């Protein structure tokens, strides 16, 4: 099922590129690309970075190709035993960290942190990973940004091996990355990247339109507007779960009938068609269809009669609740208000408020991994529903059952999955990011600005 | 109540009543004028409200019309009525349009009644507004009141509907403005008036639905609002906010109907009664001051007037009192020429004539007394003189005719002369005694003992007159009195002898004593022929007697003794049934005799 998903994604990706990418010209070196993001990054630790940005500075042992297959990166080859418990990765020779120190097996083993059940050691130029449980997808897992290889200096500053190094760092505001002249895969075309952080979506859209930025994040509303104005956009696969989460310990949320009535009352189609501008997908599943292949099995349609019937079983005093959202997130607010409208039809009164303590909240959780098991585990941590998860969701069937168990508990109500939409300046050439994550700027070059 | 008090009361009552009547009339007129003025101001405010309501309704309708006719709206109409209806393109349009047109509410609704975009409740896209599909000519429909449900509350809105149509496709533009505090603030309110708006949107009364009110106002206005809601017609009520009448406020409430003619709101126009209360209080205070001052002046004036009237009357009353006490020479000094002056002059004339008559009467009585004295003297002296004359003539005749017998005649005549001279001497002695009655010597006297002593003295005489039966009734508890025992004893003896003289044919001599308050009473009665009234009146006049040989001094002496003891003597008699003399003597020594 997963293979089918990857193939489908690849097809969609190609279609998207054809429709949005301008005609390519000959590559050229030089120039600094300006990238704006909404998030404020305070640390140089890649664990704190948006996954899409991590490959700019940090490499992993393995990377995924456009088909989701693991390909060599810092590791040039790997072997495993029959039970998939012991894996040995041979490192690429001659690679150096940005601080000039060589990338050794010991340094890589020191960099990797994979939990108490996984032992990591070095053997010559190889890194040995011994897992207590079989890990047949370990190379795919190591392609995740959280397993980026780095060297932490005495001052706490990290060094990677990626195509760009950190030349200037203003925590939470601005960073300047310079091209790594000694990059093992060849110097990138760009001389550098200026990363502007904590930029409002609307400001990013304006900067893109004014030519002040080359790559920006776009909100759904701005994406439509940008498209209408002929600006170049790129849409990722739906990778961000947007969900209604019932908080633990809050009286109304502890009543499963109440949770169910709210869940059944939600009109996901209206949210997807209007609020999400038909971006992404309306879904009743935790993970998107392209990741698991079974998301369509979870009903997403509204059942107002069922919601009203379920609400009737709840004491009238228990049919009131509060719903919070991130005050900085206009989309979350719109969705929260729509949920309140839908719930009112079922007889549930929901008061919407920005931030603060509430019985429910709108949560937006980006998937940090395309691996369904890892993604489920990440969601379990994000939603504090670890007790509902199986210790090892190794197969599709088990993962489906786990997801079903979570869905039927009605504590986390998936509403849909959103893609990431970027605005790309017309002078950016060879923009070929992975649809599920990495913003690959190592192969990008810039056309000179027209006077 | 004295004449003066009566005059004062009449004056004060008249002034107070007059002032109260004036205050009452002015206050009542003021209240009526205020109510009339208040009604006019309320009517003007209602008219202003209606005008403002219509004006805003026209503005809303014009805004809705402009939106419906805009090119952008045509684009929306095409998008939402096309084969692939895409509301997402326009979900935020209503908010932008409402801001640009200054509207509080705006909904763009597709031809099937589906909300495409809502400014007031953006999340309601996709829901139906079925009431828009009613067969109504929205183009000619003026603005109307409507309940507008929002995410957190329900509000009252002034809304208008216009329709953008292209062929069979329609797009309803529902524009509106909130009817609340800002609307009330736009009304120009006269001083002392305020306008409140109750939004009749909840099933029961809700204090939060009352705009423009101060905290705590709502509960007092509840009954008035509910009355208007129930009856759906105007009503008026006076609301007392505190126990102070100045806090009262007159509220005129009128229903504000929606399209279905049911009241969606209640407009309350409050008018403070503080000005009229203050004015009425001022009038009342002025009335009190005027009334008080008038009453005071009335008292002074009445005092002066009544003094002028009553002083001569008092003088006359005092003069009359003097006359009553025996001072017939009382004279009233009044120098007025009115009726009181005439009365005073008549009074003075009367006392003058009384005095003159008394003097004439005294003179007459004095003459009469002298005549009576002369007659008695003549009578008393004539009786002894006649035997003296006969005896002397017998002596002369015996000398002349019978010298031999002269010695014998002389001897007999001498005895007779001596006897008659002695008689004359006795008569002269009695007059002398009466003339020089001594002052009584007071000492404690047992009156019962005196009565018994007198009876013992009279025992011999009573024994010779066996037909007279003595009878005594003495009070054993009779107290001793301060008196001269000899004089009292002599007076008793005189009365007892008179009683015995009054009963020549026999009878009962009764003597009795008793106490009455601070006096003792002694009565001496006989059962003789009694006395006439004239005799009773003159009985104590000196030298008046009913006896053939009496001097007329006995009862006069008795009266003199009793008078010297501070007592009184009286006589009661019924002719044919005897007479009773009653002496009343004080137990204590009389004040007039205290120095004796």
Query: Which CATH number does the domain A59-149 belong to among 3.30.420.40, 3.90.76.10, 3.40.190.170, 3.40.50.300?
Result: 3.90.76.10
CATH 3.10.105.10 fits A240-418, yes or no: yes
User: Nearest to residue B196, comparing CAs of B204, A234, B209, B205?
Assistant: B209
- For B583, phi then psi, to 5°, come to -110, 130
Predicted pLDDT of residue A13: 42
For chain A, the domains span 1-7+30-53+162-236+421-451, 59-149, 240-418
Contact B125 A351 (CB under 8 A): no
d(CA A252, CA A357) in angstroms, rounded, equals 13
| Residue numbers in A near B124 (CB within 8 A) | 341
pLDDT in tens, chain B (596 residues): 676 677 778 877 887 788 788 878 887 887 788 778 777 877 777 787 778 888 888 999 999 999 999 988 988 888 888 777 788 888 889 999 999 999 999 999 999 999 999 999 999 999 999 999 988 889 888 889 998 888 888 888 999 999 999 888 899 999 999 887 877 787 777 788 888 888 887 778 888 888 888 888 888 888 898 888 888 888 888 888 888 888 888 888 888 888 888 888 888 888 887 877 888 788 888 888 887 887 788 778 877 877 777 777 788 888 888 888 777 788 888 777 777 788 888 888 888 888 888 788 877 777 776 776 777 677 777 777 888 888 888 888 888 888 888 888 888 888 888 888 888 888 787 777 766 677 888 899 999 999 999 988 888 888 876 688 899 999 999 999 999 998 899 899 889 988 888 888 889 999 999 999 889 999 999 998 888 888 888 788 766 777 766 667 788 888 888 988 889 999 998 888 899 999 999 988 876 655 44
Predicted pLDDT of residue A3: 35
* Measured CA angle at B145 (ends B144, B147), to 5 deg: 135
| Residue numbers in B near A277 (CB within 8 A) | 88
Contact A278 B121 (CB under 8 A): no
Give strand pairing partners of A445.
A429
| Residue numbers in A near B125 (CB within 8 A) | 270, 274
Q: Please measure the distance between the N-terminal and C-terminal CA atoms of chain B and give it in whole angstroms.
A: 47
**Per-residue pLDDT tens digits for A42-59:** 888 888 898 889 999 999
- Which of A274, A338, A340 is closest, CB to CB, to B87? A274
Chain B's closest residue to A277, CA to CA, is B88
- Which of B87, B88, B124 is closest, CB to CB, to A341? B124
CA distance A267 to chain B (A): 10
Residues 6+ apart with CB under 8 A from B239: B220, B221, B224, B248, B249, B250, B251, B270
Cα R_g (chain B), whole angstroms: 62
CA distance A414 to chain B (A): 19
- Which of A274, A340, A352 is closest, CB to CB, to B125? A274
Interface of B with A (CB under 8 A): 86-89, 91-92, 121-127, 151-152
Listed in order, strand segments (DSSP E) in B416-489 are 443-445, 468-473, 481-483
**Per-residue pLDDT tens digits for A306-318:** 999 999 999 988 8
- For B313, phi then psi, to 5°, come to -65, -40
- Which of A224, A278, A341 is closest, CB to CB, to B123? A341
CA distance A351 to chain B (A): 7
Report yes or no: A293 and A5 within 8 Å, Cβ to Cβ: yes
Predicted pLDDT of residue A362: 96
| Residue numbers in B near A221 (CB within 8 A) | 92
Q: Read off the pLDDT of each residue in A345-365 and give the average, rounded to a whole number.
A: 93
Predicted pLDDT of residue B22: 82
Chain A's closest residue to B87, CA to CA, is A274
User: What is the largest distance, in Å, between two alpha-carbon atoms of chain A?
Assistant: 70
**Per-residue pLDDT tens digits for B335-370:** 777 777 888 888 888 888 888 887 888 777 777 767
- Which of B89, B92, B123 is closest, CB to CB, to A338? B123
Predicted pLDDT of residue A435: 64
Interface of A with B (CB under 8 A): 221, 224, 267, 270, 273-275, 277-278, 334, 337-338, 340-341, 351-352
- For B110, phi then psi, to 5°, come to -70, 170
Q: Is A128 exposed, middle or buried (0-12, 13-18, 19+ CB in 10 A)?
A: middle
**Per-residue pLDDT tens digits for A369-395:** 777 888 888 888 888 887 666 555 568
Chain A's closest residue to B85, CA to CA, is A273
Which of A335, A341, A344, A348 to mutate against chain B (most B CBs within 10 Å)? A341
Predicted pLDDT of residue A59: 95
Contact A274 B126 (CB under 8 A): yes
State the ipTM, two decimals. 0.75
Q: Read off the pLDDT of each residue in A331-349 and give the average, rounded to a whole number.
A: 94
Contact B88 A337 (CB under 8 A): no
Chain A's closest residue to B88, CA to CA, is A274
pTM of the model: 0.62
CA distance B151 to chain A (A): 8
Report yes or no: A114 and A147 within 8 Å, Cβ to Cβ: yes
Report yes or no: B150 and B124 within 8 Å, Cβ to Cβ: no
Q: Which residue has the higher pLDDT, B463 or A245?
A: A245
CATH 3.40.190.10 fits A1-7+30-53+162-236+421-451, yes or no: yes
- Which of B88, B92, B123 is closest, CB to CB, to A337? B123
3-state DSSP of B490-509: HHHHHHHHHHHHCCCCCEEE
CA distance B127 to chain A (A): 9
Contact B126 A351 (CB under 8 A): no
């Amino acid at each position: 099922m997963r293979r089918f998903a990857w193939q489908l994604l690849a097809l969609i990706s190609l279609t998207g590129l054809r429709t949005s990418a301008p005609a390519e010209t000959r590559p050229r070196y030089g120039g600094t690309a300006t990238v704006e993001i909404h998030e404020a990054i305070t640390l140089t630790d890649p664990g704190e970075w948006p996954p899409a940005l991590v490959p700019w500075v940090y490499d992993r042992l393995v990377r995924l190709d456009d088909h989701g297959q693991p390909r060599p990166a810092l590791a040039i080859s790997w072997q495993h035993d029959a039970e998939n418990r012991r894996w040995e990765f041979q490192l690429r020779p001659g690679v150096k960290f940005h601080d000039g120190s060589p990338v050794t097996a010991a340094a890589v083993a020191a960099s990797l942190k994979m939990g108490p059940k996984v032992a990591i050691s070095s053997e010559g130029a190889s890194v040995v990973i011994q897992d207590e449980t079989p890990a047949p997808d370990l190379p795919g897992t190591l392609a995740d940004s959280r397993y980026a290889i780095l060297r932490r200096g005495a001052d706490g500053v990290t060094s990677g091996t990626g195509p760009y190094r950190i030349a200037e760092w203003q925590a939470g505001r601005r960073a300047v990355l310079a091209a790594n002249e000694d990059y093992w895969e060849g110097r990138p075309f760009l001389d550098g990247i200026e990363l502007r952080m904590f930029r409002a979506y609307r400001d990013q859209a304006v900067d893109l339109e004014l030519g002040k930025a080359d790559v920006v994040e776009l909100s759904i509303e701005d994406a439509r507007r940008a498209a209408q104005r002929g600006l170049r956009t790129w849409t990722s696969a739906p990778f961000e779960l947007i969900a209604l989460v019932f908080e633990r310990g809050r009286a109304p949320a502890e009543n499963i009938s109440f949770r169910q009535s709210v869940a059944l009352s939600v009109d996901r189609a209206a949210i997807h068609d209007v609020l999400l501008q038909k971006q992404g997908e309306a879904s009743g599943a935790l993970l998107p269809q392209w990741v698991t292949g079974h998301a369509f099995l979870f009903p997403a349609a509204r059942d107002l009669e069922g919601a009203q019937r379920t609400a009737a079983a709840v004491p009238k005093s228990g049919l009131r609740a509060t719903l919070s959202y991130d005050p900085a997130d206009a989309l979350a607010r719109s969705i929260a208000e729509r949920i309140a409208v839908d719930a009112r039809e079922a007889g549930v009164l929901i008061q919407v408020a920005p931030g603060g303590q509430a019985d429910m909240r709108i949560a937006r959780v980006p998937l940090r991994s395309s691996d369904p098991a890892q993604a489920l585990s990440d969601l379990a941590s994000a939603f504090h529903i670890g007790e509902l998860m199986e210790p090892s969701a190794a197969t599709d069937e088990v993962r489906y059952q786990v997801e079903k168990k979570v869905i039927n508990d009605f504590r986390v109500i998936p509403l849909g999955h959103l893609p990431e939409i970027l605005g790309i300046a017309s002078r950016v050439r060879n923009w070929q990011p992975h649809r599920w994550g990495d913003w690959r700027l190592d192969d990008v070059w810039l056309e000179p600005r027209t006077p | 109540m004295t004449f003066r008090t009566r005059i004062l009361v009449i004056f004060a009552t008249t002034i107070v009543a007059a002032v109260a009547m004036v205050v009452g009339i002015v206050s009542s007129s003021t209240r009526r004028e205020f109510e009339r003025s208040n009604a006019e101001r309320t009517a003007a405010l209602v008219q202003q409200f209606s005008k403002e309501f219509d004006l805003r309704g026209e503005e809303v309708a014009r805004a809705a019309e402009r939106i419906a006719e805009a090119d952008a709206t045509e684009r929306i109409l095409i998008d939402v009525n096309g084969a692939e209806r895409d509301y997402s393109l326009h979900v935020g349009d209503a908010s932008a349009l409402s801001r640009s047109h200054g509207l509080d509410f705006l909904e763009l609704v597709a031809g099937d009644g589906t909300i495409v975009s809502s400014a007031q409740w953006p999340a309601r896209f996709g829901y139906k507004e079925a009431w828009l599909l009613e067969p109504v000519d929205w183009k000619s429909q003026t603005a109307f009141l409507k309940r507008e449900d929002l995410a957190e509350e329900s509000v009252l809105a002034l809304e208008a509907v216009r329709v953008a149509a292209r062929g069979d496709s329609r797009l309803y533009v529902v524009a509106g403005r909130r009817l609340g505090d800002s609307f009330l603030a736009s009304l120009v309110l006269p001083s002392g008036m305020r306008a409140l708006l109750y939004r009749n949107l909840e099933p029961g009364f809700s204090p939060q639905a009352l705009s423009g009110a101060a905290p705590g106002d709502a509960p007092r206005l509840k009954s008035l609002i509910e009355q208007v809601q129930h009856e759906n017609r105007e009503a008026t009520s006076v609301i007392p906010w505190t126990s102070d009448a100045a806090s009262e406020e007159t509220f005129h409430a009128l229903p504000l109907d929606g399209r279905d003619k049911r009241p969606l709101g209640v407009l309350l126009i409050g008018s403070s009664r503080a000005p009229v209360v203050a004015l009425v209080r001022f009038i009342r205070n002025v009335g009190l001051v005027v009334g008080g001052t008038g009453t005071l002046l009335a008292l002074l004036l009445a005092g002066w007037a009544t003094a002028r009237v009553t002083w001569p009357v008092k003088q006359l009353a005092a003069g009359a009192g003097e006359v009553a006490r025996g001072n017939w020479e009382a004279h009233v000094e009044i120098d007025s020429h009115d009726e009181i002056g005439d009365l005073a002059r008549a009074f003075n004339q009367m006392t003058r004539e009384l005095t003159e008559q008394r003097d004439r009467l005294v003179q007459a009585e004095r003459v009469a007394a002298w005549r009576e004295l002369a007659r008695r003297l003549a009578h008393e002296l004539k009786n002894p003189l006649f035997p003296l004359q006969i005896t002397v003539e017998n002596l002369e005749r015996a000398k002349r005719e019978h010298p031999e017998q002269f010695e014998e005649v002389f001897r007999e005549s001498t005895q007779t002369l001596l006897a008659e001279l002695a008689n004359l001497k006795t008569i002269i002695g009695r007059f002398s005694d009466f003339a020089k009655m001594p002052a009584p010597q007071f000492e404690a006297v047992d009156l019962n003992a005196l009565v018994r002593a007198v009876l013992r003295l009279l025992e011999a005489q009573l024994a010779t007159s066996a037909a007279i039966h003595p009878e005594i009734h003495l009070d054993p508890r009779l107290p001793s009195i301060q008196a001269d025992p000899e004089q009292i004893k002599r007076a008793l003896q005189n009365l007892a002898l008179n009683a015995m003289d009054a009963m020549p044919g026999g009878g009962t001599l009764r003597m009795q004593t008793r106490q009455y308050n601070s006096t003792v009473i002694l009565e001496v009665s006989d059962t003789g022929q009694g006395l006439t009234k004239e005799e009773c009146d003159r009985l104590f006049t000196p030298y008046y007697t009913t006896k053939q040989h009496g001097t007329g001094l006995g009862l006069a002496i008795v009266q003199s003794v009793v008078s010297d003891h501070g007592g009184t003597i009286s006589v009661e008699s019924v002719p044919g049934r005897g007479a009773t003399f009653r002496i009343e003597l004080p137990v204590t020594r009389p004040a007039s005799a205290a120095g004796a």
